[in-house]
Structure 1
Amino acid sequence: LREHGAVWAANDDPAPFSGNDAHLWEQYQRYVRQYAEFREEAAEQAKTIATRIKTIPADRFKSPWNVHYASHGPERDFSDLLFENTAMLDSIVKMPNTGGYAFPYSYKPAKAGRTHTANEQFNPDFFLKMAGAHDILVVEIKDDKDDSNRNKAKCRDGLRHFTVLNSRLEVAGEPWRYHFHFLSPEDYTAFFAETKRGNLDWRSGLMLSLVKGQ
């Protein structure tokens, strides 16, 4: 939280942590109270922490976790918009950077010339269940214009992964379908507008640049 992260919690949950984490959470709450009382005269640390801890109405906190954590600016901005648009969602799951849903992808680190192929695991950032439907939006968040080889490979292999998964679900007679998205901040407004229209396979500007030429 002192650097780029932010935390969201339901406003009816006074103690979302336990053990040592509970002590740290209470310290952060003191910063929040200090900032609320003194505003710009509060200590810099209090101002930073207070603006990174956000409580929202319980009926909009549609997460299975006790808190929702975003690690950097683009994720923070997307999370703010998610909690403003929860009417179209049944569930919001922010996955951990490791240990969550993952699948392999491969890429060449260098943009030009011969180089080795790196094999890694891709952990998409968000899984969003559409309200009253069997549709899951899988969202990866990046900075604007981030068209690195790694992201191109993630996009390519992510599309392939969920295409295969959807085909297998269809063959098995299962109603669930997954819709894969790569987004950057300049795509957020259009993403929410298109999703509300039911255009779940809309592609962002970043995604179009990542798949170009593939």
Structure 2
Amino acid sequence: MAVLLLGLVMGAAAQFNCASVYGESSPTCAWEKEVKTCMDKNCQGSDDGELCRADAARTIQCCEDHYQAVTPPRDCVRAAISSAVLKCAKTSCEKSCNGAACKACSELHEEEEQPNPVILECCMEHDLTDPPEICRAAVPQPCEGLQGEAASTCRWELEVNACVRNICASCSECQNCQKDTAHINTCCDTHLHDAPQPALCKDAGQKALLP
């Protein structure tokens, strides 16, 4: 029973691999794993665990509880953008509406065919190279329409690209940094998916084997 409970608590964190992450990205990876563990614990027993783990406020709290003075992990950055977008939308709506109309204005209605224009406008104030869910309608979705392993491989590649950009955020020669084989391999391992490797991971892995 204890083993079962441990498995439930670990959840997403158990699948997060930092073993092969070194250098500057290592503490960021450790922080991200702590955040995922925190979210798994907070969402244990939730009626909708996936929705619970996607909650920006909970994520931000876990990020703050496990704060480290290093480059923030992807989950924390995305949660911060989500929170800022919702705050922006609420402020924008309150300036242009009254009463119950404000609530409808500032809410994100995922079931609507057309994305909320106020939300989209607020999203555009942020870097959307790796957008949180709330801003996905504001940018083209390269994995849209894909299913199964193809979708997982596509998401893996997006996560790797975002991870490398995160590592190279403060670089002096960013183009060279983002092509660095070690960085790419680190990000491929960190964001491992149960799917065929994306091309950039295959290429980086092969280059790493060259003498």
Q: TM-score, normalised by structure 2?
A: 0.29
Higher relative contact order (CA 8 A, sep 6+): 2
Hey, which of these two has a bigger chunk of strand by percent?
1
Q: TM-score, normalised by structure 1?
A: 0.29
Hey, which of these two has a bigger chunk of helix by percent?
2
